[in-house]
């Protein structure tokens, strides 16, 4: 029967797509060596999603589409660990390590090898795989009983839902939030008036225990596995073999590990990473040292609380003391008023620090921070300086609490402290500070991307009253721009061309540039792909919007509220009158591509300097015509588009006999 054949073909394709997507995900999230472009991955993912929607019976538990749950979790059930997740004893100096070494030498016969690993500052978790499939993820809890967080852990892209072999194992590791994700999360929360996380570890813990898996998925958690406590038929004799086996099964381990035959070698490794820690993309708070051989671990044994064969060396806290001289209050584009401590300059993690975030009023009150206080400062996520605590012993008797502003420092409007927020907020829609920040956001790279129009120039334009809102950018002329500092005629002309060119941007850039609360670049793209015009989005209801995968209720509510504002509609009318594009012109989903195009379903690589196209614009055009645009040449490449100075990709294409097109051939074909 035709239906049976269709179903069988779909089943075979689903199996093939899951295998491919698992491999590409492993290359991207575990090995950090992607072999395909994001757009090609997205195309395969959407093809799988389409097949699963057409044939629901083909949905597999380990399908990549099942990573993000669509419903809120009712809570986390308690789970008892088969084997306790014990804590480690600590050492704080070389003498402590020598004492540990001496104890081990007394307990273990023969030469001892120590395996050293970075101590990730995150949240311990245990993963169970049965016959190669992820069945359970449990937090450490109190060491004996943890919480079942399987649904949330499945959203972490580095965690395979299926191993490369159908084995049953229990692996343990550390879930963490990368520094860049932590900074972005706190910046976004601060902009929205929400409480910030104290450090990446707290952020990871809060994210993993969030009852909405979509929130967990959006925050980019990652993990490193550091042990196998149950490994069935696998033959493993050492800790280093265990980690190598985890890697072969497709699980992520930290490559920055080493083996030493002496405690002096261990110390050199500790000193090396104490210097390097600020350069790592994740936080570490020490080094874990383990006896490498499992039989020697058994000889050493355990205390009630910890193994005798392992110890954690804890780095000293990277904090320094300085004095607060002033508290500066600034207004962001959403109206949130943020305090910053101005301090005596100090050295911290290799840089000179004079300013530190105080985040919000509640934090100032909670930590009782005052002017002229001596305070301890550290770098949250090793990046953003923040005040940790006050040295109360040094405070004078006549010290008084900080004066919290009642009026906006930019427009003098009365500030509000909304019930559901920790921030002070200026709600004046004409506040100049907010308008300035909105302008800076509007021209930024991920928004309208107006080349040459940086923050300093925007501030000049605003302070000289040449622009009041973003629509005024399109009123600027050559003479006005030449009145700005360090702007000559050629620079002014280039700026005008860049401003004019931004009118042709696709809708998602404009939507993101408008600065709608909770609408980031990804949400703007999803909304634009769905509705295709600003007018259509403006007519959409909250119920319509929130069903879009990756959007949800909060973003939908914010979008609808924005389009109900008279000021927003007025601004969009002005932009439209200036000729700013309000339509989505980015790549369409695969199912909307032109199947008659010569580019449809072809794998294409672009190389060299192009005269008639910008690389991203050409990529979008080809994707719209159904092509898979990738970054590397292989036997599967159908066409290489080569501009001037094509280099090694052209050579490889010729070796593999891949057809090579120049720009003229490309233009002729696209024209047809």
Give per-residue pLDDT as tens, 132-154: 999 999 999 888 888 999 989 99
Q: Which domains does the chain have, with CATH numbers?
A: 2-66 (1.10.287.610), 90-314 (3.30.470.30), 320-394 (2.40.50.140), 432-577 (1.10.150.20), 593-671 (3.40.50.10190)
User: How many other C-beta atoms can be found within 10 angstroms of the C-beta atom of residue 385?
Assistant: 22
Any idea what DSSP says for residue 612? Answer: S
In this prediction, residue 655 carries a pLDDT of: 82
**pLDDT, tens only, 284-318:** 989 999 999 999 999 999 887 789 999 999 988 77
Q: What distance lies between CA 350 and its chain's CA centroid?
A: 25
Q: Which residue has the higher pLDDT, 582 or 143?
A: 582
**pLDDT, tens only, 615-643:** 777 887 887 788 877 776 777 788 999 88
In this prediction, residue 596 carries a pLDDT of: 73
37 within 8 A of 57, measured Cβ to Cβ = no
Percent of the chain whose pLDDT exceeds 90:
36
Q: What distance lies between CA 667 and its chain's CA centroid?
A: 37
Q: How far is Cα 520 from Cα 550, in angstroms, rounded to an integer?
A: 11
The predicted model gives 496-508 an average pLDDT of 94
pLDDT exceeds 90 at position 72: no
Q: Which of 53-62, 258-267, 397-406 has the lowest mean pLDDT?
A: 53-62
Three-state secondary structure string covering 83-141: CCCCCCCEECCHHHHHHHHHHHHHHCCCCCCEEEEEEECCEEEEEEEECCEEEEEEECC
Q: Which of 387, 391, 228 shows the shortest CA–CA distance to 294? A: 228
Q: Which residue has the higher pLDDT, 377 or 28?
A: 377
172 within 8 A of 124, measured Cβ to Cβ = yes
pLDDT exceeds 60 at position 1: no
Q: How far is Cα 524 from Cα 441, in angstroms, rounded to an integer?
A: 14
Question: 392-398, long-range: CB within 8 Å, 24+ apart, which pairs?
Answer: 392/368, 395/370, 396/372
**Highest mean predicted confidence (pLDDT) among 20-34, 444-458, 572-586:** 572-586
The whole model's pTM is what?
Answer: 0.59
Any idea what DSSP says for residue 28? Answer: I
In this prediction, residue 652 carries a pLDDT of: 82
In this prediction, residue 119 carries a pLDDT of: 95
In this prediction, residue 237 carries a pLDDT of: 92
242 within 8 A of 227, measured Cβ to Cβ = yes
**pLDDT, tens only, 428-441:** 767 888 888 889 99
Average pLDDT, rounded, for the chain: 86
Q: Which residues face 407 on adjacent strands? A: 414
**pLDDT, tens only, 240-263:** 999 999 999 999 999 999 999 999
453 within 8 A of 515, measured Cβ to Cβ = no
DSSP H or E segment with residue 410? none
pLDDT exceeds 50 at position 70: no
The predicted model gives 165-180 an average pLDDT of 93
Going by C-beta distance under 8 Å and a sequence separation of 6 or more, which residues neighbour residue 642?
607, 608, 649, 650, 653, 660, 661, 662
Catalytic residues: 119
Q: How far is Cα 231 from Cα 651, in angstroms, rounded to an integer?
A: 47
In this prediction, residue 590 carries a pLDDT of: 47
Q: Which of 543, 569, 571 shows the shortest CA–CA distance to 556? A: 543
The predicted model gives 421-425 an average pLDDT of 80
Q: Which residue has the higher pLDDT, 35 or 488?
A: 488
Q: Which residue has the higher pLDDT, 31 or 89?
A: 89
In this prediction, residue 298 carries a pLDDT of: 93
Q: Which residue has the higher pLDDT, 74 or 272?
A: 272
In this prediction, residue 512 carries a pLDDT of: 93
Going by C-beta distance under 8 Å and a sequence separation of 6 or more, which residues neighbour residue 279?
none
Q: How far is Cα 311 from Cα 520, in angstroms, rounded to an integer?
A: 43
Q: Which of 331, 382, 377 shows the shortest CA–CA distance to 355? A: 377
Q: What distance lies between CA 221 and its chain's CA centroid?
A: 8
Strand extents, DSSP E, 391-469: 424-425
pLDDT exceeds 50 at position 67: yes
Q: Which of 173, 182, 217 shows the shortest CA–CA distance to 201? A: 182
What does R_g of the chain's alpha carbons equal in angstroms? 29
pLDDT exceeds 90 at position 334: no
Q: Which of 133-142, 197-206, 530-539 has the lowest mean pLDDT?
A: 197-206
The predicted model gives 216-230 an average pLDDT of 91
How far CA 181 is from CA of 175, 236, 517, in Å, comes to 13, 35, 19
In this prediction, residue 350 carries a pLDDT of: 63
In this prediction, residue 32 carries a pLDDT of: 63
């Amino acid at each position: 029967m035709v239906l049976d054949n269709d179903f069988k073909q779909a089943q075979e394709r689903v199996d093939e797509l899951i295998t491919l997507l698992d491999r590409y995900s492993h290359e991207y999230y575990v090995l950090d060596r992607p072999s395909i472009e994001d757009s090609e991955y997205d195309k395969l993912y959407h093809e799988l999603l389409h097949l699963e929607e057409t044939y629901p019976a083909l949905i597999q538990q380990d399908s990549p589409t099942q990573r993000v749950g669509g419903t809120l979790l009712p809570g986390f059930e308690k789970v008892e660990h088969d084997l306790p997740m014990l804590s480690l004893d600590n050492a704080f100096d070389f003498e402590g390590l020598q004492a540990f070494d001496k104890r081990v030498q007394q307990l273990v016969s023969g030469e001892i090898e120590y395996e050293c690993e970075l101590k990730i500052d995150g949240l311990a978790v245990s993963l169970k795989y049965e016959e190669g499939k992820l069945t359970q993820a449990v937090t450490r809890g109190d060491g004996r009983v943890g919480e079942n967080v399987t649904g949330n852990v499945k959203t972490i892209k580095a965690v395979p839902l299926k191993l490369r072999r159908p084995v049953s194992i229990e692996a343990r590791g550390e879930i963490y939030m990368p520094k860049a994700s932590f900074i972005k999360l706190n910046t976004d929360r601060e902009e929205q008036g929400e409480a910030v996380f104290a450090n990446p570890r707290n952020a990871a813990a809060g994210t993993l225990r969030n009852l909405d898996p979509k929130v967990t998925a959006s925050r980019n958690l990652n993990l490193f596995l550091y042990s196998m406590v149950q490994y069935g038929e696998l033959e493993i004799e050492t800790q280093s073999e265990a980690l190598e086996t985890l890697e072969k099964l497709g699980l992520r381990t930290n490559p920055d590990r080493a083996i030493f035959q002496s405690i002096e070698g261990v110390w050199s490794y500790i000193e090396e990473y104490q210097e390097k820690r600020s350069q790592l993309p994740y936080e570490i708070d020490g080094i874990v040292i383990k006896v490498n051989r499992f039989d020697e671990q058994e000889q050493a044994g355990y205390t009630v609380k910890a193994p005798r064969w392992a110890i954690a060396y804890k780095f000293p806290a990277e904090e320094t003391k300085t004095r607060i001289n002033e508290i500066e209050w600034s207004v962001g584009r959403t109206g949130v008023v943020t305090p910053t401590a101005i301090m005596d300059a100090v050295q911290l993690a290799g840089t000179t620090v004079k300013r530190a975030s105080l985040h919000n009023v509640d934090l100032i009150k909670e930590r009782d921070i005052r002017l002229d206080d001596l305070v301890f400062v550290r770098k949250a996520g090793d990046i953003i300086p923040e005040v940790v605590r006050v040295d109360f012993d040094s405070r004078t008797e006549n010290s008084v609490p900080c004066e919290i502003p009642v009026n906006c420092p930019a427009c003098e409007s009365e500030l509000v402290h909304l019930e559901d927020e920790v921030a002070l907020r200026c709600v004046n829609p004409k506040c100049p500070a907010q308008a300035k920040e909105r302008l800076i956001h509007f021209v930024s790279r991920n928004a309208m991307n107006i080349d040459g129009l940086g923050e300093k120039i925007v501030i000049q334009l605003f302070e000289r009253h040449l622009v009041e809102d973003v629509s005024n950018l399109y009123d600027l002329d050559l003479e006005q721009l030449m009145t700005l500092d360090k702007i000559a005629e050629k620079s002014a002309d280039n700026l005008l061309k860049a401003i004019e060119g931004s009118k042709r941007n696709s809708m998602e850039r404009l939507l993101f540039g408008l600065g709608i609360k909770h609408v980031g670049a990804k949400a703007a793209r999803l909304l634009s792909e769905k509705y295709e015009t600003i007018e259509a989005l403006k007519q959409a209801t909250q119920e319509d919007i929130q069903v879009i995968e990756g959007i949800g209720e909060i973003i939908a509510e914010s979008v609808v509220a924005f389009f109900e504002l008279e000021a927003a509609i007025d601004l969009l009318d002005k932009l439209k009158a200036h000729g700013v594009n309000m339509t989505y012109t980015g790549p369409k989903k695969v199912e909307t591509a032109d199947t008659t195009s010569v580019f449809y379903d072809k794998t294409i690589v672009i190389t060299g300097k192009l005269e008639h196209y910008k690389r991203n614009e050409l990529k979008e055009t080809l994707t719209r015509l159904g092509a898979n645009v990738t970054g590397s040449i292989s036997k599967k490449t159908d066409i290489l588009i080569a501009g001037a100075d094509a280099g090694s990709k052209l050579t490889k294409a010729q070796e593999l006999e891949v057809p090579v097109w120049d720009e003229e051939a490309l233009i002729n074909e696209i024209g047809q």
